[in-house]
Chains A and B, each alone.
Chain A
Amino acid sequence: QVQLQESGPGLVKPSETLSLTCTVSGGSVSGGSYYWSWIRQPAGKGLEWIGYIYYSGSTNYNPSLKSRVTFSLDTSKNQFSLKLSSVTAADTAVYYCARVLRPQWYMDVWGKGTTVTVSS
């Protein structure tokens, strides 16, 4: 059974870079059937798609975040990562990683989420 686990600092200072990693167990990030995605949810608000990465390394980002986001994939560690630069309080949220089935575009496996607070 595939499981995803987010990890990274829970507190980031304004203007700095938020870095999170998602570790995949029970499956491989190298499979071509999936995209690997990040989604966030501010407290009390809805879900926001951040973007996704394919095993080939190709990426697509939400246009509203594109200028600040970078995804990467480490097949040797079976992980994928998110970097969000120049963060502000508006980036405070629960961040989820998820597996997206191609080509149907639904998320069948989610991590439990990790809370990131942007504050000095």
Chain B
Amino acid sequence: QSVLTQPPSVSGAPGQRVTISCTGSSSNIGAGYDVHWYQQLPGTAPKLLIYDNTNRPSGVPDRFSDSKSGTSASLAITGLQAEDEADYYCQSYDSSLSGYVFGTGTKVTVL
């Protein structure tokens, strides 16, 4: 059961900027726990995209960035490219579960 809410879909033309919101609660994002982001290309396993709110694993372009405020976080993709078409998930720790939770997922479409 997801307790982090994301928009089902966002879209943009190549080169544009899109953002994906991730809304949580006082037991996860609002409690100060880090938010992490994953990219899932069609038919593949999720891949870590951003961790600890601001860090990118080697190989992830700096077109991907995130921010966090209160009980929400956002992922921004600037200079949108066709290869960015994928599903994106946020994730955080939840103290009420003593475990982690995923967002509902957002499909990014490049027009």
Residues of A within 8 A of B (CB): 39, 46-49, 51-52, 60-64, 96, 100-101, 104-108, 110-113
Q: Which of B33, B104, B105 makes the CB contact (< 8 A) with A105?
A: B33
Does A106 contact B46, Cβ atoms closer than 8 Å? no
A105 touches B92 (CB 8 A): yes
* Residue of chain B at shortest CB distance from A37: B100
- Determine, out of B9-17, B47-55, B72-80, the stretch whose residues face the partner at the interface: B47-55
Nearest residue in B to A62 (C-beta to C-beta)?
A: B99
Note all chain A residues with C-beta closer than 8 A to B104: 46
- Interface residues of A: mostly helix, strand, loop or mixed? strand
Across the interface, name the chain A residue whose C-beta is closest to B96: A63
Given known A46-B2, A46-B104, A49-B101, contact A113–B36 (CB-CB < 8 A): no
Closest 7 CB pairs of A and B: A106-B36, A46-B105, A105-B93, A47-B102, A110-B45, A106-B51, A105-B100
A-B contact pairs, 8 of them (CB 8 A): A46-B2, A46-B103, A47-B38, A49-B99, A104-B52, A105-B92, A107-B48, A108-B57
User: Are A112 and B45 neighbours in the complex by a CB distance under 8 Å?
Assistant: yes
Q: Considering the complex, give the chain A residue whose CB is closest to the CB of B93.
A: A105
Is B69 located at the chain interface by the 8 A CB criterion?
no
Complex interface residues of chain B between 79 and 111 (CB less than 8 A to chain A): 89, 91-93, 97-105
**B89 close to A47 (CB less than 8 A):** yes
